Chain A
Amino acid sequence: MTSRREFLKAASLTLGGVGVGLAGLRLARAEEHEIEVAASTLRWAMVVDLPRWIDLQDHEQVFQVCHRAHNVPDFSGLADPEERIRHAIKWIWDEPFANAFPGQHHEVMTERYREAAAPVLCNHCESPSCVRVCPTQATWKRDDGIVMMDMHRCIGCRYCIIACPYGSRSFNFRDPVQGLDPGSITPSYPRRMRGVVEKCTFCSELSDGSGGAWEPECVRASQGALSFGNLRDPRSEVRRLLSERFSIRRKPDLGTNPYVFYLI
């Protein structure tokens, strides 16, 4: 017996044509727009405890731990202030609440959230726009949900940056070596050349491949404000937090199905 997905795929391929074919594939993926808790045994997710994050004193230190571990260049010292913004490489950083959650903001909301900054990073979407558009499969989604990035296959067309609705991806306009402190390079993490795209990978390099959880660098440095774990495991910390507290996600209406959750 063929599944609905297989049927739609076959039907769309038979009908042929770019538009029809792609529309068919998209229909087949409609199911990916809902969070599934039983489909397989492994799905990594992150939970941001916003109240704890707001109370956390030093956000920069969390970002620096991540950026150091992944040799993310720092161009904040460039002479031209515009180039500091244009050429910045960011894996995790703070955005004002209004920018992280457009449409959720109003002038008379509680001051705590109105003035808050939320950490933003790759959402490791279930239906990632970046993966859909990449012409070389240099970015792809693993079965455990992590959206990976091969910086050595990437041709630097930046279509993924155009497609990502969250601004989570950065392009190496400059040689990344220019932005690295020779004293604090992580030799075990791959270096990349200029002209390629990079982003957060949930510290997939820390995984031992056994399916067991690990602690991403930002989570470790966040003093409990960030949690990471397997969403399909009913006893995991992330499941416990999401079942006990109210959570929101970024731009949920776009159908990307992000797996970074923000507790309110």
Chain B
Amino acid sequence: MSNKPTTENGIDRIVEQLTSATHSPRGDFSAEKSFKKLAPYLPRPFYRTILFKALASAAAVALLCLLTWHYVINNPIETITIRTLAETKSIKLPDGTQIKLNRYSSLTFPKSFSDKERVVSLEGEAYFEVSKDAKLPFTVQTQEINVQVLGTHFNVDAYPNSPTTKTTLLEGSVKVYNHQKTVETILKPNECATYSAANGLVCQSLSSEAKNVIAWQENKLIFTEMPVGEIMNELSHTFNTQIKVSNLKLYNYRLSARFEQQETLTEILDLLQSAGYFNYKVEKDFIKIEPKQQ
């Protein structure tokens, strides 16, 4: 580099040389990316954040203590929840009650019953054989209704996505009532109570084939003179698949059928579609049932 450039060109050249003497950080060497290498050496997190975190965790601990205390004082009952997927399960409660839990259902009950009552809650469908104990009423709570009994055999169908809750009695007697206790009915053997959440009414009817209602226990599906809509409702619970019936006439069309070989949903629908004059279509996340095109 010449010592004293006087010409414009000389200075231009020097500027150029200086510019090419170094370069700015780019890519992985940029200020932003490089700081990540520095960050681990800095106290992390920030001082203020530490204080905040300390306060927050202290508050969380205090809250937890309070909740535990509250829980222990008011809710000394430990509960157990049993869930099923594509299988049924037999459950024996501490009082000797036998329960068969249908597919895709869950049952919650206390580890030990209190000395005043026996309460379990159900989502889905289950068959109960309640041990007799006149002093300790047995109550099944569902989303919409409660079923209270002393000692009987009965089935409760209370799948959460179903418009109705159906209680079928096989032996003894049960009282079915909704949470507000505005409707209440007492069932005799072979009777069923269908509660519709939409209008809050209970429909009591004779179930000629009450045994069929609990055929699911042997992995059988038995439909006797049953509307297509209800059949599809039951199938949708058994196979955990949404089934939509598009047509009201079709919904009320009655069918009888028995499936005892653990058939798949496709096999069942293939058989039913010819008897029920409908077509089924498998959509993305549900199955559509439509009247057969003429």
- The answer to whether A and B interact is no
Residues of A within 8 A of B (CB): none
